[in-house]
């Protein structure tokens, strides 16, 4: 059964060079004495922090730096571009009027990255 996700959950993007942390928007719901997250916690630089450097050529900054380096892939600082909520979220649990976030949910970056939850931030509360 999936684990409920909360403050400081560890995230990874397939095009990022290092992990990041989830910073949920303040809510009234807690899990394991930590702020619970929901699918609406997808705002770049507020909820989703950078993943080190970005290595995908679909990112215009990476493409420009790679072109300037005569085709040698040149990673650039990650600035997440997430424009839609996490999917699918919990089908049975709500957190402040939105589906609760569980560790099987994913988030898409505009540059093609898939962001996943590698550590939900707690290990006591399972949700469907």
Using only C-alpha atoms, the chain has a radius of gyration, in whole angstroms, of 16
Residue-number span of the structural domain to which 97 is assigned = 1-121
In-domain check, residue 23: yes
Tell whether 128 is covered by a domain: no
Position 59 in a domain: yes
Express each pLDDT in 33-92 by its tens digit. Answer: 999 999 999 999 999 999 999 999 999 999 999 999 999 999 999 999 999 999 999 999
Would the pTM of this model clear 0.85, i.e. be above it? Answer: yes
Domain-embedded: residue 126: no
Domain-embedded: residue 7: yes
Tally the domains of the chain.
1
CATH number, domain of 32, equals 2.60.200
Q: Residue 128: its pLDDT value, please?
A: 86
Could you tell me if residue 127 is inside a domain?
no
Residues 6+ apart with CB under 8 A from 107: 42, 48, 82, 84, 85, 86, 87, 114, 115, 116
Cβ atoms of 101 and 5 within 8 Å: the answer is: yes
């Amino acid at each position: 059964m999936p684990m409920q996700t909360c403050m400081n959950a560890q995230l990874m993007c397939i095009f990022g060079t290092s992990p990041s942390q989830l910073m949920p928007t303040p809510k009234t719901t807690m899990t394991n004495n930590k702020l619970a997250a929901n699918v609406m916690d997808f705002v770049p630089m507020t909820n989703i922090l950078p993943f080190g450097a970005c290595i995908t050529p679909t990112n215009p900054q990476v493409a420009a730096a790679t072109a300037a380096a005569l085709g040698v892939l040149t990673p650039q600082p990650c600035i997440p571009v997430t424009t839609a909520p996490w999917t699918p979220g919990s089908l049975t649990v709500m957190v402040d009027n939105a589906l609760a976030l569980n560790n099987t949910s994913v988030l898409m970056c505009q540059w093609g990255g898939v962001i996943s939850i590698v550590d939900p931030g707690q290990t006591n509360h399972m949700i469907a």
